[in-house]
Amino acid sequence: MSNLKKTDPQVYNLIKEEEKRVSDTLEMIPSNNFQSKAVLEALGSIYNYKYSEGYPKKRYYQGQKFADDVEILAQERAKKLFGVPYVNVQPYSGSPANSAIYFALLEPKDKIMGLSLAFGGHLTHGSPVSFSGKYFTIIPYKLDVRGIIDYDEVERLAIVEKPKIIICGATAYPRIIDFKRFGEIADKVGAYLLADISHIAGLIVAEVHPSPVSYADIIMTTTHKTLRGPRGAMIMVTEKGLKKDPELGIKIDKAVFPGLQGGPHDNQTAAIAVALKEASIASFKTYGQQIVKNAKVLAEELTKYGLNLISGGTDNHLLLIDLTNKKVNGAVAALALEIAGIIVNKNAVPEDLLPPFYPSGIRLGTPAITTRGMKEREMIKIAQWMNEVINEISNENFPKDREQRKEFWKKFKQEIVANKKLLKISEEVKKLCLKFPLS
């Protein structure tokens, strides 16, 4: 980055600081992952300059031959990888992709049925603070007392409410999703089934999670999580979806452009194409398998320390932990873990009695640390460190009163950065990270 260093040393230094921070810590937020140098090179390529409104062979500007070629390449690779007949690779990210699907198929106030945000769903699956909750009628479903999707309740709700779209997929759900059952429910009430596989796309490719292709009408995925590509998204239509509505792909194309977006980010499209090629080779399947192996070992070890995992464990890449029994708040724990060099995110748990900004739980996962090459042995050590951190802050009683909470939080943030125990763990974390450098 010699040109950047010369032109803007301030931004150059910030990038270098971020590189150092990431290199020295354990990135365990399950939606984060590290891309290959090849993906990053495509993302920073000459395609950054270009405007390509429209679709391949149907553009509004001249000079589009190679933009067409790279978009068609990304489409064909996605079709082959996931086994679908139609793909749109232009959505800027997951939220715009879901919005395009809704605007393609729904009228304002039509019913969407999705997993409640408070139970692990995504903002765009019907949260009242999201466009999805503001423009459409939302029928949320929840988890049962075990922390598992209650498919019988989903079916009962669907029969009563008759939604136009049913969404299966989540942002904080650690178990296998029964796409077949969801497909049967959707068919029973005449709804479109949208499978949001943003978190698990790479696991599906690696065949460690079932695919929704035979059961869903539409599939949306981001490309930057377990798929290990650039930040972006794809919308796929299945054979089942085209059988239901032969113009489903055309409707989605029109909703993406010109409905919601202008020109696609051709550099992003090129990088997605690279990531899809990488995901098609045998080593990616091994990688996906290791993600799940690591998550399961981590879950087992944390359970041994008395941590309460929602649903009792994991089938995929993520863990959701309720810290109530440890008398630790999720926001407090996430900050303390960061000081110790372990990066997770605070997260609400089912039936959480605390507000979203100060929830009872934390969410973590294994994609990024698996990308670095860490395996089961490292998971055992990470669980030990996490337990030590939680124990270190177990006496930090989080006030229920809002004003008292503000004072507590201010004081805690000032004091925790100097905690000797946590700083000692952070040095141990750095030593581990040195053995697994970012490639």
Q: Catalytic residues, which ones?
A: 51, 53, 196, 222, 225, 231
- Cα gap 220→212, rounded to integer Å: 11
H helices of 197-254, in order, are 201-205, 239-244, 248-254
Distance in angstroms (rounded) separating the CA atoms of residues 274 and 228? 10
Strand 26-27 relative to strand 342-343, pairing: parallel
The two beta strands, 218-222 and 233-237, are: antiparallel
Spatial separation of the C-alpha atoms in residues 76 and 83, rounded to whole Å: 10
Whole-number Å distance between alpha carbons of 430 and 385: 13
Tell me the C-alpha to C-alpha distance, in Å, between residue 79 and each of 57, 72, 86, 91, 219. 19, 10, 7, 16, 12
Phi first, then psi, for residue 318 (nearest 5°) are -130, 160
Token pair in block for residue 247: 């113009």
> b or e along 276-298 (b: 16 or more beta carbons within 10 Å of the residue's beta carbon)?
bbbbeeeebbebbebbbbbbbbb
Tell me the CB-side half-sphere exposure of residue 5, using CA atoms within 13 A. 3
The pair phi, psi for residue 366, each rounded to 5°, is -115, 5
Instruction: Look up residue 124 and give its DSSP letter.
Output: G
- Rounded to the nearest 10 degrees, the angle between the axes of helix 330-339 and helix 402-416 is 10
Q: What angle do CA 330, 332, 335 make, to 5 degrees?
A: 105
Specify the amino acid at residue 434: L
